[in-house]
Structure 1
Amino acid sequence: MTDSTAGADMASENGDPRAVLTAVGALEDSEIRIAEAGLALAAMDRQRSVPESYHEHLAAIDAEMQKTAAELDCSAADDKGLANRATTLGKVLAGNFSYQGDRVTYDDLQNANLMRVIDRRKGLPVALAILYIHAARSQGWAIEGVNFPGHFVVRLHNAGKALILDPFAGGEPCTTADLRRKLKAAAGEKAELQPEHYAAVGNRDILLRLENNLKIRLIQEGDLEKAAAALDRMLLIAPKHAPLYREAGLIQARLGNLNAARAALERFLEISDNDSQRHHVARLIQDLGQQLN
C-alpha cells in the first residue's frame, strides 16, 4: 500500500475515529498519517467524531509552510537549506500559529489530547511534535521523533545533515549541551547521554507515547475506567503490542471486569515471547478462572 492509498483509507473513515484507529493498526508504520491518527485518538477520548475544522487547521498549517518555505528558500541541499527548514517550522508553528509548550499546567490532561492542543495552542512535547512532524512532511521533508527520555524532540534531515529541534520551545535547535541539560533535568545529575537517546521513534510509537501520557495521569488520578479506555485506543493502533494486553488485563481485573481481563491476558499469552511474564500471566488467568466459576 502506498502512502497516498493509506492516506485515502484514513480520510475515508474521518467520521468514525474507531475505524480510523483500526485502519492505523493494520498499516505499515511509514504509511501512518500521524496528525490524522492523533486527531482520531483525541476524538475517541472525547467520545465524538473529529470536526472538520481540525482537518482544515492542518491544511492551513500546510499552506503556511509552503508559503514560508518559498520565502526562505528551503530547497538548497546544504546546511543553509537545513537551517532554513528549521526556521520555517518554528516561524509557522510557534510564530504564525502560536504553538508553545504548557509550562504552567504541564500535567493537564488536555495537553495529551491533540484536539485540545489545537484549541489551546499548547501541549506536551510529544503532542506538539506531532504537529511539527505533520508540517515538515507536508513539504516532503524528512523528519522523525527521537527517543529522548522525559522530553520528546524531533530530528530534521536534509542532504545528509540533521538538526534536533524542540517543539516545546518553539522548535529551537538543540545542541549536545542543551540535550545534556534536558537529560539531567529529567533523569538526575548523574545521567549522561547514551546512543539510545538519539534513536529514531516510529509513527506508531509516537502515538503510543502520546496516549501513554494520558493513561499514566489517569492511573495516578485513580480513574481506571478512563485508563482502560486509553489502553483500548492504544491496542487499536498497536494490536500486536503484547505488553498492552497484559496491562489492559490487569486494569480490567482491578475494575472487576473478569471476562475482559481474561480475554486480554489470553491474547497476551498468544503473542508474547516474554517467558517470565507469560508464566505470571498464566497463573493470573487460572486465578480469574476460579473467580468466574
Structure 2
Amino acid sequence: MSETQTAEARAALDAVGQLPDDEIDLAATALQLARIDAPQCDWRAATMDLSLLARAAVDAATAAPAADGGDLAARRAVLAGVLHGEAGFAGDDQTYEDPANANLLQVLERRRGLPVAIGILWLHAAEAAGWPAHGLDFPGHFLLALEGQRGQLVVDVFGGGAALAAPELRALIKRVEGEKAELRPGVLAPMGRRAVLLRLQNNIKLRRLRVGDLAGALTCAEDMLRIAPGEAPLWREAGLMNQRLERIAAALTAFERFLAIQSDGPAAAKVRDIMAELRQRLN
C-alpha cells in the first residue's frame, strides 16, 4: 500500500473515533485496520466479499419465515448455513497464533480466523438480515449473542456457530481458565462495536509483543487509539511502549492524554512519577 493509501485508511479510523458506538460500521472499520497491516491484500475485493455475504444473509433470511419471525434457533441456523456452510468460514485451530487470523482481509481470503474475526462477519451478516446481535466479552474466547424479545441465544462462532447453553459455557470457561473456574457475573457482558474492534486488534498487538516487535505493537496501539481516543489504559500502554523505545516526547504526550482522561488513582500517580523522570532526562 502506498503512503497515500495508508494515510487514507488512518483518516478513516480517525473518523470512526469520533462516531457514537452504535454508528460504527464494524466490518468496514475492521477492513481499514487490516488494510494497514496487510497492504498486499485487495481490500476493494474484500469489500465486495462483505457485500456478497450481506446479500446472502438477506436472501437466506427471506427464505426462512421462522427466523424472520423471531425464532433465535432458526436465525442461528440460517447464519451458520451462510457463513460456515455456503461461505466456508471456520475457526483456525491449526495455526491459531498466526497474525493473519486477526486480519479481516486475510480472514476473507483464507476463510479462517480467530473467534473475534469470525464474529465480526457474523455480526455483519446478522445486521444485514435485520437481526439484533452483539459480541460477548467471554474470557479468552469471543462469543456472540443473538437477541430476542425473551432473551438471547449464545453462539460459538469459532465452533461453527454452535449454540451454547449453561453446561457448554461452564465447560468452555474451564477449558479457558482451568478446572477451578466457574461461570460468574460479567462473563457474558455485552460488548459495544468499538470494544469488539479493540479486542480484534489486541490479538495483533499481543502477538507482536510476544516476538519482541515493540515498534510494531506500538503502531497497532496507535491505530487502536484512532478508533478509541477515550481509552485511558491504551494511552498509558502507548506511553510505556514509547518510553521503552526511548521516544521521550511521544511518551510524555501519551501519558498526558492518559491523565486527561484518568487523573486519579494509583495508575495516575505512577504515570506522574514516570513523567517527572522523563522530563528530567530531557533537561
Q: Same fold (TM over 0.5)?
A: yes
Change (3 A) 1:266 1:194: same
Could you say what secondary structure the match of 2:17 adopts? helix
Match of 1:57 in 2: 49
In structure 1, what is the Cα distance between the partners aligned to 2:204 and 2:140?
Answer: 14
Residue 99 of structure 1 pairs with residue 92 of structure 2? no
In structure 1, what is the Cα distance between the partners aligned to 2:53 and 2:7?
Answer: 21
Match of 2:112 in 1: 122
Match of 2:162 in 1: 172
Paired letter, 1:135: A
In structure 1, what is the Cα distance between the partners aligned to 2:19 and 2:40?
Answer: 23
Match of 2:60 in 1: 68
Paired letter, 1:263: T
* Long gaps (5+) in structure 1: 1-12
Match of 1:10 in 2: none
- The structure 1 segments of at least 4 consecutive aligned residues displaced by more than 6 Å after TM superposition are none
In structure 2, what is the Cα distance between the partners aligned to 1:262 and 1:47?
Answer: 31
Q: Tell me, yes or no, if the aligned pair for 2:139 and 2:173 is still in contact at 8 Å.
A: yes
Could you say what secondary structure the match of 2:182 adopts? coil
- Superposed CA RMSD in Å reads 1.7
Residue 156 of structure 1 pairs with residue 149 of structure 2? no
Q: Can you list the C-alpha shifts for 1:264-290, whole angstroms capped at 9, x where unaligned?
A: 111111111442111111111111111
Match of 1:16 in 2: 8
After TM superposition, the score normalised by the length of structure 2 is: 0.94
Match of 2:259 in 1: 269
Match of 2:19 in 1: 27
In structure 2, what is the Cα distance between the partners aligned to 1:263 and 1:82?
Answer: 48
Paired letter, 2:276: Q
1:223 shift after superposition? 0.1
Could you say what secondary structure the match of 2:97 adopts? coil
* Long gaps (5+) in structure 2: none
In structure 1, what is the Cα distance between the partners aligned to 2:220 and 2:7?
Answer: 20
Match of 1:222 in 2: 212
1:19 shift after superposition? 1.6
In structure 1, what is the Cα distance between the partners aligned to 2:40 and 2:140?
Answer: 30
Q: Can you list the C-alpha shifts for 1:38-91, whole angstroms capped at 9, x where unaligned?
A: 1111112235796211111011001111121122222223xxx22111111100
Change (3 A) 1:49 1:15: farther
Match of 2:193 in 1: 203
Match of 1:237 in 2: 227
Aligned length: 278
Match of 2:250 in 1: 260
In structure 2, what is the Cα distance between the partners aligned to 1:138 and 1:237?
Answer: 23
* Percent sequence identity over aligned pairs: 41
Match of 1:109 in 2: 99
Paired letter, 1:63: R
Could you say what secondary structure the match of 1:145 adopts? strand
Match of 1:8 in 2: none
Could you say what secondary structure the match of 2:83 adopts? helix
After TM superposition, the score normalised by the length of structure 1 is: 0.91
Paired letter, 2:92: D
Could you say what secondary structure the match of 1:240 adopts? coil
In structure 1, what is the Cα distance between the partners aligned to 2:237 and 2:49?
Answer: 35
In structure 2, what is the Cα distance between the partners aligned to 1:49 and 1:235?
Answer: 23
